[in-house]
């Protein structure tokens, strides 16, 4: 007969054995599931059409997938540790390792672009993305990452940049015919002054005048007029030259004044009134003067075209400059034309979009690219009454002083006055460009008809 202890203990033993068996069975099932999951993940890593890598806590590589090995044509042993760096282009190797080590030490994701040698010896651009990995208890375990071949994308990007540069150049050349008239007008005054002043000097010599100071004064005027003509030629040559220009410290009001000079002939021809309302407390901006001239010339040209159907008395352009908060300068070109009602605002600054019958759709697209390259933004808005205003911003930059180039092109000086163009700072009066307006160049009072060599009876010019 079984004792009480045996009667109680035997079921407990059986229950314990069953529980242990069930626990072990569960553990085995979990282990098998984890093994299957691990194998599935490993298969994904091995079969994925992307280069995958992994590193240890000492930064050394301990795994690359078959796709990586297929790309490089090397063995796994050759890639382990720091061996993968041997395939990086020598010019990119140091920068690539520095970027990886910096991210590794900070335990932050890394993003690198470098050239990696392919199995055929060709170097291909790759985008390499890595991120820290951690074990089950949260301890740092190294990095894992992947690479993508972006050579085709790089080449397309460079081709796009070249195309944009070519579009900008073509846009300038397209406008060359329009600016030729302005160039001719600008040169006429200094050349006429040189001829008349030189004629006056010859007349003085023929008359036996030996006053050295008088002769010096006459020929100094000739030299000044020559320098002015040289400035005009240089400025227009830079505008259409195919070259990369370096940014410099600029007075944006001076750039606006220069645009008015370049546009003067077209404004007179189309009988358009222009006024400038320029803030007098603007900080210096850093920019490419020629590129910003191109933007403003495009906007002024569009404003002129937008008012073609208006009566001459209603054709008015207002160019303004102002400060936006503390970080930006704003330039605006306002017209009184047909406005933006018929414009697709979503496509306004897109390449090839135009509302002009003979338009190319290049100007505003180029302008947007230039403004964005300067760190600014450009937009258009409908005026409350009529017409539209195109505005763009330029970030304020710390600048010690204006370089000589900016001062040389400041058209506000006494030797570069535009008659018939309202250049004001906060004023509200408007002046319409008349048929005889242009730049005045100093002419000596004794200068007369250069063809005859005779001086003017009452002094034919004015001096600054």
The pLDDT of residue 268 is 83
The pLDDT of residue 232 is 65
Residue-number span of the structural domain to which 415 is assigned: 160-432
CA dihedral sign, ordered 335, 338, 341, 344: negative
pTM above 0.85, yes or no: no
Do 360 and 235 have their domain in common?
A: yes
Cβ-proximal residues to 132 (8 Å cutoff; 6+ apart), any chain = 107, 108, 109, 140, 142, 143
The pLDDT of residue 215 is 81
Question: Can you give the CATH number for the domain in which 212 is found?
Answer: 3.30.565.10
Do 80 and 200 have their domain in common?
A: no
Do 125 and 196 have their domain in common?
A: no
Question: Can you give the CATH number for the domain in which 112 is found?
Answer: 3.30.450.20
Do 197 and 289 have their domain in common?
A: yes
Q: What is the DSSP string of 373-425?
A: HTT--EEEEE-SSSSEEEEEEEEB---SS--HHHHHT-TTSTTS-BTTSEEES
Question: Does some domain include residue 212?
Answer: yes
The pLDDT of residue 464 is 31
Residue whose C-alpha is closest to residue 59's, from 9, 92, 96, 22: 96
d(C-alpha 220, C-alpha 322), whole Å: 39
Do 78 and 179 have their domain in common?
A: no
Q: Which of 149, 172, 195 is the last residue of a domain?
A: 149
Question: Does some domain include residue 31?
Answer: no
Question: 316-324 and 285-287: which strand pairing?
Answer: unpaired
The pLDDT of residue 426 is 35
The pLDDT of residue 393 is 93
| pLDDT means over runs of 10, the chain (464 residues) | 58 69 74 63 66 92 91 93 94 93 94 94 94 91 93 86 71 60 63 79 82 81 79 64 68 92 80 93 88 87 90 93 89 92 80 62 78 90 92 76 39 30 34 34 39 34 31
Q: Which of 128, 149, 170 is the last residue of a domain?
A: 149
Do 110 and 164 have their domain in common?
A: no
In total, how many domains does the chain have? 2
Please provide residue 397's backbone torsions phi and psi, each rounded to the nearest 5 degrees: -125, 150
Question: Does some domain include residue 458?
Answer: no
């Amino acid at each position: 007969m079984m004792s009480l202890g045996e009667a109680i203990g035997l079921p407990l033993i059986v229950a314990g054995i069953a529980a242990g068996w069930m626990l072990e069975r569960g553990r085995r099932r979990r282990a098998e599931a984890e093994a299957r999951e691990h194998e599935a993940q490993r298969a994904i890593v091995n079969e994925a059409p992307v280069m995958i890598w992994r590193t240890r806590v000492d930064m050394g590589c301990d795994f690359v997938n078959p796709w990586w090995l297929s790309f490089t044509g090397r063995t796994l042993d050759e890639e382990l540790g720091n061996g993968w760096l041997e395939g990086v282009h020598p010019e990119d190797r140091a920068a690539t390792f520095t970027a990886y080590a910096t991210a590794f030490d900070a335990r932050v994701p890394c993003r690198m672009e470098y050239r990696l040698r392919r199995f055929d010896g060709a170097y291909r651009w790759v985008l390499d993305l890595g991120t820290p990995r951690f074990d089950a208890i949260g301890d740092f375990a190294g990095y894992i990452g992947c690479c993508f071949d972006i050579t085709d994308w790089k080449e397309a990007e460079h081709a796009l940049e070249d195309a944009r540069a070519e579009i900008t150049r073509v846009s300038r050349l397209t406008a060359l015919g329009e600016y030729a008239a302005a160039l001719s007008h600008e040169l006429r005054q200094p050349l006429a002054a040189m001829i008349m002043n030189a004629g006056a000097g010859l007349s003085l010599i023929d008359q036996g005048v030996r006053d050295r100071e008088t002769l010096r004064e006459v020929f100094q005027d000739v030299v000044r007029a020559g320098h002015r003509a040289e400035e005009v030629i240089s400025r227009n040559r830079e505008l259409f030259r195919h070259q990369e220009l370096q940014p410099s410290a600029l007075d944006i009001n001076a750039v606006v004044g220069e645009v008015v000079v370049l546009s003067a002939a077209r404004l007179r021809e189309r009988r358009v009134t222009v006024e400038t309302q320029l803030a007098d407390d603007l900080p210096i901006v850093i920019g490419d003067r020629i590129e910003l001239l191109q933007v403003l010339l495009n906007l002024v040209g569009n404003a002129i075209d937008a008012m073609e159907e208006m009566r001459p008395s209603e054709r008015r352009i207002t160019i303004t400059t102002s400060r936006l908060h503390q970080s930006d300068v704003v330039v605006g070109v306002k017209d009184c034309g047909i406005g933006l009602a018929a414009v697709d605002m979503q496509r306004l600054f897109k390449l090839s979009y135009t509302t002009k019958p003979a338009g190319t759709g290049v100007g505003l697209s180029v302008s947007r690219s230039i403004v964005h390259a300067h760190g600014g933004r450009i937009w258009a808005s409908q005026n409350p009454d009529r017409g539209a205003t195109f505005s763009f911003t330029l970030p304020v930059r710390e600048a010690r002083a204006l370089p000589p180039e900016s001062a040389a092109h400041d058209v506000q000086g006494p030797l570069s006055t535009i008659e018939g163009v309202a250049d004001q700072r906060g004023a509200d009066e408007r002046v319409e460009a008349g048929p005889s307006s242009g730049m005045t160049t100093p002419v000596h009072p004794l200068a007369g008809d250069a063809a005859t060599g005779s001086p003017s009876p009452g002094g034919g010019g004015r001096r600054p």
